[in-house]
Every structure is written in C-alpha cells, then in structure tokens.
Chains A and B, each alone.
Chain A
Amino acid sequence: MTLSPVTSGYTRWDQSDRRLVSSDETEWFAGGTDLIPLARSGVLDLDSVVDIKSSHLERTVQRIDDRWRIGALATLSDLAEHEELTATVPAIAQAVSQSATLQIRHRATVAGNLLQRPRCSYFRDPSISCWMKGGSDCPARDGRNEHHALIDEPCVATQPSDLASVLVALDADVNIDGHDGSERTVPVAELLQRPVADRRSLHTLESGDVITSLEFTDPGTSRSTYLKAMNRAVWQFALVGVAAIVDIDDRHTVVSASLVASGVDSVPRRLTTSSETLTGRELTASSIASAADAAADGLTELSENGYKTALLRGLVQRSLEPMRGG
C-alpha cells in the first residue's frame, strides 16, 4: 500500500506532446476516484500519470439542435444537476445520482466513469491473482460471486457504470482523440466490450487515446428511466440496473423500446428480446410480463448470483409499469 501513489512521473497534459501518453504504463487522471484507490491498495503501480483535469478538454453539457454533447470532463454531478437534460432524459440523472456518493460524483468525470476498472473484490485485492490481472484463472467464477455477472466467460466482473447502460440504450457515441492524432467517433456499445485474452480490459480504448466528449440524439418524446437494485439505499455498485428508453405513440403503442441492463454482464447488456417483444404492442400487464420474462434469456447463473435473473425480471417490470397509461 502506498499513501502517495505518485511520487514522480506526474505530468499535466500538454496536447502537443503525445509521447507522454502512448505508453501502457501511463494512466490518465481526471477525477481520480478509481485510480487513487487502485494505487493505494497496490493493485496499480503508477509510474506515470498524466493529469487532464485542467486540460483543454470540455466540461460543458449542451444541446446542439437534436444532439446532446457532453464534455469528457463533465462530472456526474454536472449531469445530475443539468435541468434541461434531466427533464429530457430522466434516466441519465437517475443513473448518475444513484452512483457512488455525492463526494465522488462531484469529482468523477463521465469519461472516467465509462473507463472504470472492474469492481470485482478479487481484482481489487492485490494479493489475489486473477485472469483480468494477467493470471490464468478467475477466482470469482467458483468463489463469492453474488455480485458478479451472469456469464460464462474468463472474467465474470460486471461493467460497473450505471450511466453506461443509459448511454447504450440511447445509442450514444464517444468522440476519441486518437494516440496517432486521428479523431474518431465510436458507439459506447463498441467502446465497452467484453474482455478477451489479448485485451484484458472492460473497454477498447488504446493507450494514448483520450475521450473528448459523448454525444447522443435527443430521444424526443420517448420516456426514459433507470432503476437500480442495491443492498443498501445508496452507495453500492448495481446488483442489477435497468435502463429503459421507450417511445409510445398516441394510441399507447410502443414505437420503439431500448432496454439495457447493468450488473449482469461485463458490458451494458442490451435486452434485445425484451425490447423487440414490446415493439408494436400496447404497454399492458401482459406485454410487460413478456418483456420481463425474456430479460434473462441467454444468461448463465453462477453459484451465488442466480437471484439476479429474478431481480432483472423484476426491475424490467418495475421500469415499464409507470409508463403505462397517462
């Protein structure tokens, strides 16, 4: 354990000098709400940190025509407190305001929120070897996996971001300033990928790449919600969360539905069957039940997390019920 994680190698980002950030050993630092605990616990050795908190990157949240643009340095609190955004897409404020604690939300940035390391307790214990840290096995698969994903993969950590599920439901994009100087736009759903043997990470961002902003199309009259289940009222990563964006026409028929779950996969998991089940149907107890029943399709229960399938179905039902009528 090291109280002062960085004694040397701290640099403020100068956009003109790319070399600083094109090494695997270099970490971006903005809010630091994930990086500092990882370094303090000894999971990460921070040899080189590049601070982008006071860089040129944007912190603004704005709508330009029908597109929302959120600067990479906007904090979770900035989103929660943005009146127009909250009124338009309540799910965003619901997701961020149920994340962590107020103190953390004041520091944590939206880009950093998408790039968190796994919150798996085995991953976070420096004395335990795990697949994600380069080891051969995942101790959670047959261990204490009550909080883990319902998947049969080499790593069963969940994607910890609540916001990510809402962004995927909105088909949001991230704008990336690439390490080679190129700029590109990538859907959040492509940024956040299940880890594979030669990329043991919950995301696909390469060394030296930096997220500059997020963008998504205003969902207009669609209703949105994010429900989150925790074992206490606040301050726990989602056991399961459900983001729902549903467009319902004048005749109460679902024009489109986009349901995405947190806490059940190592990515925000699109509940494709549930979403398709609803489309073209009126939102009734029966159609909601069909969507809920289909929510856990394709998921694999581990030794201690089987309850999550019931929880997922329950949250899907609870997320859709208030959208009926009115």
Chain B
Amino acid sequence: MRASDLDDWTTGTALDLVGSSVDRVDAVDKVTGRARYTADVQLPGQLTGVIVRSPIPHGRVVSIDTASALGVEGVVDVLTADDIDEISWYEDDAPLLPGIVRYVGDEVALVVAETRSDAERGVGALSVEYEPMEFLTHPDDVERPGAPELLGNESADEVEEDGRGDVDEAFDDAHIVVEGTFRTPVAIHNSLEPHGAVADWVGDSITLYTSTQGVNDVREQMGERLGLNHNQVRVVSEFVGGGFGAKQVAWKPTMLAALASKRTGRPVWVMNDRSGENVAAGKRNGTEHTVRIAADPDGRLLAIDADVRADRGAYAVKGEASAVSGPYLHLYQCARVRTRVRRVRTNTGPAVAFRAPGYVESTFVLESLMDELAGELDIDPIELRRRNHSSRNQQEDLEWSQPEGLLRSYERVAEVARWDETDDRDETDGEDEHDGLLHGRGFAAHDWLAASAMPPGHAGVEFNFDGSVHVSTSAQDIGTGTRTVLAQVVADELGVDISSVRLSLGDTSTGPPAPTSAGSTTVPTMAPAVRAAAAAAVDDLLDAAAEHHGVERSSLSFDGTHVKSSAAAFEDQPLGDLLSDLSPRVVHGWGGRETIAEDVSPRAQGSAVAEVSVDPLTGEVRVTSITVAPDCGRILNRRLADSQVIGGVTQGIGFALTEEQVVDHRLGVVVNPDLNEYLLPTVSDTCTIRHAALDIPDLRANPLGTKGIGELPLIAVPAAIANAVRDATGIRLHELPITRRRLLEAIASSEALDHESGDHR
C-alpha cells in the first residue's frame, strides 16, 4: 500500500499514542548497556585493525616497510596501497590508500592484529618514508594570487551562482545598506560513537556491522567498489551513537575492514580513535561570507548579495555545505538576490554534511545583518522579520507547504521567551549596577529545505501467530528515537498496545529499502510508510477473516484486539484465535512512501531567542536561556522532540561559543585533535532551554503532517547568541566562536575607536 492511498491524519484524526511522550522503546537496553553498537560486536576469531595516518600535510609515500610491523607478536597482516587494486574513494575517485597524502591524518595503511594492543604496537613499529610536498591549509593562502595549484582548486572558474533579479542596481539607490565579512569555524561532529565497522567475509558475501546513517547507501557504495551485487552485501547498524551528517556515506574504515577480512579470512574490527575522528572523519566547512543587504526605510529588503567561500578540505565528500546559499535565497521576501559560492581545497581533512550543512553558517551571517538593520532603523527585530516574511519559494515560484509557519514561530517564540514584556531596552540591557555584568537578548529566524520525504521508504508489518506485531524496515535509528516513533505510529494505526509491537531496524537483510537518515527526513518518510504497511496488514487480516468465516469483507473491522462484524451471526473473535485458525496463512502488509510533495515547496522553518550575560572585563559570555520554536509539523513524540531541541541548542551553543578546530598553518597540523582541547560544550555550558512547541500538522508536506525536527533547533541558535552579545555589549562579532580572545580583542578595539572619536560613553 502506498502512503498516498490513505486518508491524511488531519487535526481531527483521533490518535492515542502519536503526540504523547512515550518512553523510548529501547531506553532500558541503552542505559543498561544491552544495546549493541558497532564497537561492541565480537565475532569468533575477530581481528582488530588500526589505521596508520599521514603525519605530513602533503607528500609522496616513498616506501612502507611492513616487515618490522609484521614482526611484532600478534600482528597478522599489514594492508598498504600495494595490496589494493583500483579501489577509489571520495567523490574525487582518489585512491583508497593514496600514494600522495593530502592532509595530516590521511589513511596510509592498516595494521591487523589479534588484539588492539598488538595492532598499535605494530603501528609503532611500522616505518613509512615520505617525501614532503608543498602544502596550503588556509583558504586565504590558496586564493592568494600566484599560489600553487596543489589540489585542483576550482575556486577560480567554478563559482556556483544562484539568485534572481538585478542585484547591483538595487544597491545603487537603496535607503540603507548593511554589510560585513563574517567567518565561521571548522566544527567537528564528535559523535559519541566514532566511525568504524566490523567486516565478516564469508564465501562470496560480506556482512558489515557499521555505524552509519544509511545502511542502504553503504551497501550500494561498498557493493559497487567490491564488485558485488546488493544481495551479497549485508549492512547492519542496529544502534548508532549519533552521526550528525558525518555518517551519511561509507567511510574508509568500513572498506579497510572489508579488505582485511577478505585477506585474513577472519572478521576484522576497525574503529576510529578520537583523534582519527577529529582529523579524518568529516567536519563542518570553515566558511567566509561577504554579504550586503539593502532595505527601504521600513526595513523591507530590496536586495541580498552574498559571496561565500567554503573550505572543503583535501577531498570532496557528499553533502558538505551543500546548501550554504539557502538562507540567502529563501528566508525572506526579496526580489533581488545573488549568491556566489566557491569551494576551496586545502590540505586539511575532508568536510562533510553536518546538521543543517551550510544553513547554520549562512543563518549566522544573514541574521547578524538583519539584527544590524533592525538596530539601524530602530525596528523591533521580530517586527523586521514579519515585514520581510515570505510565504513562498521565490526560486521555484511555489508556495511553502506551510505559508504561515514562520509567522506562527515568531508569535510562539516571543510569547514563551516573553519578548514583548522585556522589550524595554533600558531595563534589560546594558550594565547591571551590582555586578558589572552586561545583559542582552537576541533573536534569529531560520529556513530549512527538507520537510517532505526522501523516498523510497518501505516497511513490512506482520502479525505473528500469537497476535504480536513485527515491523521490518532497513531504516536506521541514529539515536534520535526513530524506533520509538515508528512503533507509536504502527500501534496507533492498528489500535494495538505499543508493547506488542517490535521493530527490526538497520539491517539490509531483514528490512526493505529506506532512506539515509539525513536532512530531517527519516520520520517524514518512514512514518507514512509504516502506517501504510500497518493499514495493509489490517486489510490482509480482514480479507483472510472474510474468506475463513465466509462473511462479507465489508462487514468486518479490527479494533486492535478483536475482529468484529456488523453481521448478526458473527461473534467477535480475538486476534490470536483468528491467526491460529488462519495458520499457515501469514497475515502481513507492505507499505511505502514513494512520492514527495510537488505542488508546494515543503519547508520547516523556525526561530530562536537567546539571553546572555557578558562580563566585559573578562570576556565571559554566559548563555542564560535559549527558546526555540521549530515548525516541525505534527509532533509525534513530545519528549523525543524535546530531546532534539536540547541537543540542537547545545550544539548551537558550542558553535557560537566554544567549538573550533585550530590548525597551525605553518606545520599543516590540527593542534586540538582531541576532546581535551576541542571544546565541546559541557552540561555546565548549557542553560534554560525552552521548546516553544508549535505542533501544526503540515498536510501539504506530508500525509501525517510531520516534517522532522533534527536540524531545526540548531540553525538559528548561534545567530541568536551573537545577536544577544551585540545587544549586551554593543559589539558585533564577525567570527565564531565568540571566545574570550575574540571578545576581549573586539572590546579593546571598540574602546580604542571610542577614544579616537572622543566618545566617552
């Protein structure tokens, strides 16, 4: 059954579990350690592989002396480029183990041993001779006139242009122009669970246990490179400790494990360590934006002109900063927009999609400028956004699936954050006489492009003979709670208790095709699919019951426990009894979501308010509260939605205040490749987090009205924090994160300016 064959879940549809805060169905397994993640997999005879990484940022691998490593007790095999035939990697078709390394951390070899300690001793014994080559790790250096072409940079000739209208003309006679150059940092996903795999090659087939956001994509990517049919590759990812976009493709550890398993004839375990995870498993692109916006005296935008440079690292990976022009093109009503994006290669680790790739970065920039505009024109920041509201996709000339969603978000976030009650700038902002701290608040809006589905998404629902229900799909739960939400949907559609529903997820051998978990599309794709499968299973049940009892099919119904009939002679039959009677006939259904909304532009937008206190003497920024109002459509599980909000806001605090990969550009080395020095926000860095829930079913985007929430609560948070810092201090930070150094330096230069101009405020 197709999801589109069923009636929509409107606001009037009676739903029991959907919308409530059902506990995670795997909560106990997770907190007791029973849930088996990739690193936990232990197969008989399993070996451990440890990756040898390049210590230089660019150079030729002259030779690898494997003998010394093979002489270490316990070492079974050493895999180098010489052992691999024509397996290429990344979008560049670069060799899996390159003869010319491109960044510190690039994979050079794999040492396979009986234990991890043995393998690490083998790595220590292995000697690799390199011939260093010139390198450039800073995009400024790459773009400097006369810089050598080291990595095939396309920046000069392949600028991606998009937009509408004549932009330059609009700036010529605009009432006001606000502009600036802004930079965002390289941020690292740092999922709790690193990338890795256990490969078990048996006969002509391989099983890959791997931590991934897309078992089907990994199956296809691995099968293609190994010359195997899809049905010779089984990919299992039952539990995943987060991905945030960095696990949406197959990575080298998976392929290295597969090759080593084939060579040794034994299962091989390869997981990145934390340093590998920090240098070689993807990152959010560092970006630089030079942007100007023009407006009329009422603050209505006349033009947006954005030049963006994204540092993609040494290799191209799918999804990195893919949508960096999106906020400029879509967030506001504006007849003239131009975006120009150039992607620069540097001798640093490859960038990959990271939770709202490109959007977090551009939203920080655009919303900083909108905040400046509001200040210049003395218009309330939310009122300024209302005046510029867009109800349609101006690039495709389609209405948003929820044209008023963003306006509802503004109302709700203002209400929950008490925006209007604290509007008196004199009272809430500026210096507190008692402690010398400065207080401020900031607002930011955001767009997000995914909201409908990423088909195909298929699922099967089967009644076991005892009446319990088995749901199978290959969709994976990357930690967000997909397993729980899908169980809720199936239980509600069938009318059964959720405890009788079990799901098999994240295994290509047991579930039908499902999308990669990316772009907040898992739930919008899979919830309608499992619902259709459940409906199909009920159809099958009633067909079988009609045949078995010789009654009219149309007289039968199922209420979750009994099959009933409007026919007088029919006695309600418990489900289990009926299924026993029907045996060996199996009752099941198949459902799929195969389409996306096409007559509208599906959209999930939202907004955020941040409150901060700042110590101007020490540069300390404390976020005291964040309120977000993401329009994620129908909320299927409030507690899980809140969890996404807490996680997204926390990552937003990190992006705004603490997280930044730091590179020494003379040495080409990341100086903070670990969790001591790469500063993830801790619990103490968080604050009061409020989810100003909207819960508006968007039936034009999705038959169940749900749009997914993963990306949304992050996108506007860094901008809102930066705007709050501006509100508190009067200083506009053009670069994230706002560290003590950046803020104190900005305060010092603003004082110097004041001094020069004789303005002693």
A187 CB–B CB distance under 8 Å: no
Contact with A along B55-85 (1 / 0, CB 8 A): 1000000000000000000000000000000
Complex Cα gap A304–B665 (Å): 14
Q: Quick check: A236 and B679 within 8 Å, CB to CB? A: yes
B561 CB–A CB distance under 8 Å: no
Q: Quick check: A311 and B667 within 8 Å, CB to CB? A: no
Q: Quick check: A121 and B671 within 8 Å, CB to CB? A: yes
Q: Quick check: A146 and B620 within 8 Å, CB to CB? A: no
The 10 A-B residue pairs whose C-beta atoms are closest, nearest first, are A314-B617, A233-B684, A121-B671, A307-B744, A314-B618, A127-B55, A307-B741, A232-B658, A233-B685, A234-B684
Pick from A125, A229, A235: contact of B682, CB below 8 A.
Answer: A235
Q: Quick check: B669 and A125 within 8 Å, CB to CB? A: yes
28 contacts between A and B (CB under 8 A): A1-B120, A2-B120, A2-B124, A3-B117, A125-B669, A125-B671, A139-B667, A143-B664, A144-B664, A144-B671, A146-B739, A229-B619, A231-B739, A232-B657, A233-B682, A233-B684, A233-B685, A234-B684, A234-B685, A236-B679, A307-B619, A310-B617, A310-B747, A311-B740, A314-B619, A314-B744, A315-B618, A318-B618
B273's nearest neighbour on chain A, judged by CB, is: A1
Q: Quick check: A310 and B685 within 8 Å, CB to CB? A: no
Q: Quick check: A232 and B619 within 8 Å, CB to CB? A: no
Q: How many residues of B contact A (CB 8 A)?
A: 40
Q: Quick check: A143 and B748 within 8 Å, CB to CB? A: no
Q: Quick check: B679 and A231 within 8 Å, CB to CB? A: yes
A122 CB–B CB distance under 8 Å: yes
Residues of B within 8 Å of A158, CB to CB, are none
Complex Cα gap A143–B657 (Å): 22
A128 CB–B CB distance under 8 Å: yes
Complex Cα gap A236–B679 (Å): 8
A48 CB–B CB distance under 8 Å: no
Q: Quick check: A121 and B120 within 8 Å, CB to CB? A: no
Q: Quick check: A232 and B685 within 8 Å, CB to CB? A: yes
Pick from B123, B619, B739: contact of A1, CB below 8 A.
Answer: B123
Q: In whole Å, how far is A314's beta carbon from the nearest beta carbon of chain B?
A: 3
Q: Which residues of B contact A (CB under 8 A)?
A: 55, 116-117, 120-121, 123-124, 273, 436, 615, 617-620, 622, 657-658, 662-664, 666-667, 669, 671-672, 676-677, 679, 681-682, 684-685, 737, 739-741, 744-745, 747-748
Pick from A2, A144, A234: contact of B117, CB below 8 A.
Answer: A2
Q: How large is the interface on A (under 10, 10 to 19, 20 to 34, 35 or more residues)?
A: 35 or more
Q: In whole Å, how far is A133's beta carbon from the nearest beta carbon of chain B?
A: 15
Residues of B within 8 Å of A307, CB to CB, are 619, 740-741, 744-745, 748
Q: Quick check: B615 and A314 within 8 Å, CB to CB? A: yes
Q: In whole Å, how far is A122's beta carbon from the nearest beta carbon of chain B?
A: 7
Residues of A within 8 Å of B55, CB to CB, are 127
Residues of B within 8 Å of A232, CB to CB, are 657-658, 679, 681-682, 684-685
Residues of B within 8 Å of A314, CB to CB, are 615, 617-619, 744
Q: Quick check: B741 and A143 within 8 Å, CB to CB? A: no
Residues of A within 8 Å of B681, CB to CB, are 232
A42 CB–B CB distance under 8 Å: yes
Pick from B120, B669, B741: contact of A3, CB below 8 A.
Answer: B120
Q: In whole Å, how far is B194's beta carbon from the nearest beta carbon of chain A?
A: 15
Complex Cα gap A306–B740 (Å): 11
Pick from B116, B124, B671, B744: contact of A122, CB below 8 A.
Answer: B671
Residues of A within 8 Å of B658, CB to CB, are 231-232
Q: Which residues of A contact B (CB under 8 A)?
A: 1-4, 42, 121-122, 125, 127-128, 139, 142-144, 146, 229, 231-236, 239, 304-307, 310-311, 313-315, 317-318, 321
Complex Cα gap A239–B684 (Å): 18
Residues of A within 8 Å of B120, CB to CB, are 1-3
Q: Quick check: B617 and A317 within 8 Å, CB to CB? A: yes
Q: Quick check: B617 and A139 within 8 Å, CB to CB? A: no
Q: Quick check: B744 and A311 within 8 Å, CB to CB? A: yes
Q: Quick check: A144 and B662 within 8 Å, CB to CB? A: yes
Residues of B within 8 Å of A127, CB to CB, are 55, 669
Known: A125-B671, A231-B658. A318 touches B617 (CB 8 A): yes
Complex Cα gap A144–B662 (Å): 8
Q: Quick check: A229 and B618 within 8 Å, CB to CB? A: yes
B104's nearest neighbour on chain A, judged by CB, is: A127
Complex Cα gap A143–B672 (Å): 13
Complex Cα gap A42–B121 (Å): 11
Known: A3-B116, A4-B117, A307-B745. A231 touches B123 (CB 8 A): no
Residues of A within 8 Å of B622, CB to CB, are 233
Q: In whole Å, how far is B68's beta carbon from the nearest beta carbon of chain A?
A: 15
Complex Cα gap A142–B666 (Å): 9
Complex Cα gap A128–B473 (Å): 49
B115's nearest neighbour on chain A, judged by CB, is: A3
Complex Cα gap A229–B617 (Å): 11
Q: Quick check: B669 and A231 within 8 Å, CB to CB? A: no
Q: Quick check: A139 and B740 within 8 Å, CB to CB? A: no
Residues of A within 8 Å of B745, CB to CB, are 306-307
Complex Cα gap A135–B672 (Å): 21
Pick from A3, A231, A233: contact of B740, CB below 8 A.
Answer: A231
Complex Cα gap A256–B485 (Å): 65
Q: Quick check: B618 and A146 within 8 Å, CB to CB? A: no
Pick from B121, B436, B740, B748: contact of A229, CB below 8 A.
Answer: B740
